[in-house]
Amino acid sequence: MAFKPANNIQDLQYFGEFGGVNPSISDSSTYTFLSAKTMFDTFEGNADGCYLYSRHSTPSNLHLGQALAAMEGTETANVTASGMGAITAVLMQLCGAGDHIVSSRTIYGGTYAFLKNFTPRFNIETSFVDITKLETVEAAITAKTTVLYCESVSNPLLEVADIKALSALAKKHNLKLVVDNTFSPLSISPIQLGADIVIHSLTKFINGSSDTVGGVVCGTQQFIDDLRSVNDGACMLLGSTMDSLRAASILKNLRTLHIRMQQHSVNAKYLAEKFEKDGLKTVYPGLESHPSHELFKMMMNEKYGFGGMLTVDVGSLDNANALMELMQKQNLGYLAVSLGFYKTLFSAPGSSTSSEIPEDEQREMGLSDGLIRFSIGLDADIERTYSMMHACMKELKIVE
């Protein structure tokens, strides 16, 4: 039977303390115990249903985690203060000194910087590979490799990972396959395709209102318990805990994610097709010209489309900057990093979100100066948006 992530979210029922239709927010950093013995048991991790201290967990965080676990089809989940708070905790939990990671080379710049510059301090080395070439991925695996890391749809190049095939490789070599699904919530369900752990930056589509950062790790009860362990859990000890008030507000936004993703996808597909017809080098997984179009189609939960992200190469950084400034002036969106907002957001990743990646490596992976990354908004009249964007491009002589 087809996996229905939005049904799984909708089917959860929570009530507030006084019968409210939203769960009550737990506005406390610490919790009382009726007996000292229960406090001891809670520290030891054997007192289900008891709360200890809000860096460990809170009722509000557990509600949001439960909804996100339902969305991804995992036993449970742990929410974090940011996407990086989820990524760094997972990698530090899974790897120790001497371990090796095989990672896609096109990933979010912050994750790349963490793996390239930070984890080597702990003697954890990473090989960056073209994740679309399975032979290259397998060739990079060594006896020390413990983790295979990728994004389902990569930031910013929109490369698509073959999660089923990567999962087979991970199983063969006894690795954990960790997938960052930030760019394709609902559209792709990595666990259903064999991933072990799924991460999201909630900052983006899932929260959708660009008012907070947040993250989540979805996985088995055992792994999430490990992350939360008071003795050696990376979430508990590194402390990137989400605040309860934020967890409550993200949960409310999550309930409209299915409608928003459909609109982001419809709008992005419309613009991608138009830009491509205009002769612009356009990358969007929903275009037949995308090298992994068929793969995306095979993996996707069809209803939610190919997502809201596309890139266009306008030839040079000067062109990109001029176009972004003009589009912002015409109120077609904002020159801003991040994604998943109701307004279109655009940035030139080479000089912003991926600037952590050295220029020569950017060239090698096809990240050109003139590349603009668009997170397409929820525009009600995408035809008008297109004609205004086209007029901007014409004025700057980017299109005829």
Does position 108 bind ligand PLP by CB under 6 A? yes
Does position 182 bind ligand PLP by CB under 6 A? yes
- Mention every residue, 6+ apart, whose C-beta is less than 8 A from residue 298: none
Does position 240 bind ligand PLP by CB under 6 A? no
Q: Which two tokens stand for residue 2?
A: 């087809």
Q: Give residue number: closest CB to ligand PLP.
A: 83
Task: Count residues binding ligand PLP (CB under 6 A).
Answer: 15
Return the number of the residue (119 or 319) whose C-beta is nearest ligand PLP. 119
CB of 53 to ligand PLP, least distance (A): 23
Does position 185 bind ligand PLP by CB under 6 A? no
Of the candidate residues 215, 219, 286, 349, the single one contacting ligand PLP (CB under 6 A): 215
Return the number of the residue (42 or 126) whose C-beta is nearest ligand PLP. 126
Helix, strand or coil, per DSSP, at residue 284: coil
Does residue 349 have a cis bond before it (omega within 30 degrees)? no
Distance CA 190, CA 128 (A): 21
Q: How many CB atoms lie within 10 A of CB 326?
A: 16
Per the DSSP assignment, residues forming a β-bridge with 216 are 79, 200
Distance CA 6, CA 8 (A): 5
Return the number of the residue (107 or 393) whose C-beta is nearest ligand PLP. 107
CB of 80 to ligand PLP, least distance (A): 9
List binders of ligand PLP among 339-368 (CB under 6 A).
Answer: 353
Return the number of the residue (38 or 351) whose C-beta is nearest ligand PLP. 351
Does position 181 bind ligand PLP by CB under 6 A? no
Does position 103 bind ligand PLP by CB under 6 A? no
Helix (H) or strand (E) run with residue 262 in it:
helix 257-277
Decide: 85 and 216 in contact? Cβ < 8 Å.
no
Return the number of the residue (159 or 226) whose C-beta is nearest ligand PLP. 159
Q: Give me the DSSP letters along 341-364.
A: -SS-EEE-GGGTTTTTS-HHHHHH
Sheet holding 125-129, edge to edge: 76-80, 215-219, 197-201, 176-180, 145-151, 100-104, 125-129
Of the candidate residues 88, 145, 152, 155, the single one contacting ligand PLP (CB under 6 A): 155
Does position 203 bind ligand PLP by CB under 6 A? yes
Return the number of the residue (111 or 146) whose C-beta is nearest ligand PLP. 111
- What is the separation, in whole angstroms, between the first and last Cα of the chain? 48
Of the candidate residues 26, 54, 82, 184, the single one contacting ligand PLP (CB under 6 A): 82
Amino acid at 102: V
Distance CA 22, CA 244 (A): 13
Does position 83 bind ligand PLP by CB under 6 A? yes
Does position 91 bind ligand PLP by CB under 6 A? no
Decide: 108 and 84 in contact? Cβ < 8 Å.
no
Sheet holding 371-375, edge to edge: 281-283, 309-313, 371-375, 345-347, 334-335
Return the number of the residue (264 or 274) whose C-beta is nearest ligand PLP. 264
Q: Which stretch binds ligand PLP (CB under 6 A): 53-61, 89-97, 178-186, 253-261?
A: 178-186
CB of 104 to ligand PLP, least distance (A): 11
Does position 189 bind ligand PLP by CB under 6 A? no
CB of 159 to ligand PLP, least distance (A): 12
Distance CA 215, CA 55 (A): 14
Distance CA 242, CA 31 (A): 17
Of the candidate residues 152, 201, 301, 368, the single one contacting ligand PLP (CB under 6 A): 201
Of the candidate residues 213, 283, 372, 393, the single one contacting ligand PLP (CB under 6 A): 213
Give the footprint of ligand PLP on this chain (CB under 6 A).
82-84, 108, 110, 151, 155, 180, 182-183, 201, 203, 213, 215, 353
